[in-house]
Amino acid sequence: MATPQAVNNDFYDDLGGRWLNAQDDPVALLRAEGVAKQAWVEKQLLERLGSSPRRILDVGCGAGFLTRHLAQIGHQVEGLDYSLNSLRTAGTQPSSARYHRGDALRLPFQDGAFDVVCAMDFLEHVEDPQAVIAEAARVLRPGGLFFFHTFNRNFLSWLIIIKGLEWFVRNTPRHMHVLRLFIKPIELEAYCLLAGMKTRAWTGVRPDVLRPAFWRMLRTGVVPADFHFVLTPSLRLSYLGVAEMV
């Protein structure tokens, strides 16, 4: 039996300062997409938990894009990642956030320690997302929120998210994403239910194809600084969601 293709998580450990400023790299898309995701998370937090500062854990925080944003708007935020080099890059940016090196399957925090746990662009990089979600639920208080972002598993996702990046964005490594690790929304909803959480809201995320920046990227392989993502009702490709601990 053939060994399943592993995802290339080493790619992130090698980015260094490119996390923050490279445009000829798929990490530039991650930064641009983060703007749309951060705004949605901030809005959901305000609507569901009010304006008081909350204790938040960002699992798989990478270079700390969401971690830093949530700290800047007044929350007490802890970022956790296994990549030491990514955490070093995160630590170079001014922020009140705290960072930890750790394993998402064995979070170094007590039960019910957080009001919010985030797992953004992370679940598709692990072999057992159900176990990661269960561990996130363990450290959530009752009524706490679990935010997630990942990719739907279908042919269109393979064509656009995997092959499209390899064809049209410079320095995209092989196996940065692996289709078998993408997660259908119905599967993610089931994982949350098994962990004692009920999904409350969903939204899709896609590039703004009406902007010239999108077409410049296709032509040059470089992600322009004015590249934007927008929210969409469709969950066919990239999607965000929030679940509540019940």
List pLDDT tens digits, range 57-110. 999 999 999 999 999 999 999 999 999 999 999 999 999 999 999 999 999 999
Task: Find all residues with CB under 8 Å of 96, minimum gap 6, and list them.
Answer: 71, 76, 77
DSSP, collapsed to helix, strand or coil, labels residue 116 as strand
Count of C-beta atoms within a 10 Å radius of residue 244: 19
Q: Is 1 inside any structural domain? A: no
Strands 229-232 and 140-151: unpaired
Count of C-beta atoms within a 10 Å radius of residue 165: 16
**Stretch 176-197: mean pLDDT, rounded?**
98
pLDDT at 19 over 80: yes
Output the pTM of the full model: 0.97
pLDDT at 1 over 70: no
pLDDT digits (tens, 9 = 90+) for 29-54: 999 999 999 999 999 999 999 999 99
Q: Is 61 inside any structural domain? A: yes
Please state, in angstroms and rounded to a whole number, the distance separating the CA atoms of residues 173 and 80.
24
Q: Is 90 inside any structural domain? A: yes
Q: Is 151 inside any structural domain? A: yes
**Stretch 11-18: mean pLDDT, rounded?**
94
Q: Is 4 inside any structural domain? A: no
- The total number of structural domains in the chain stands at 1
Which uninterrupted H or E stretch holds 136? helix 129-138
Q: Is 3 inside any structural domain? A: no
Average pLDDT over all residues of the chain:
97
Find the domain containing 183 and state its range: 10-245
CATH number at residue 151: 3.40.50.150
Going by C-alpha positions, the residue among 44, 174, 51 that lies closest to residue 120 is: 44
Residue 3 banded pLDDT, cuts 50, 70, 90 = confident
Q: Is 80 inside any structural domain? A: yes
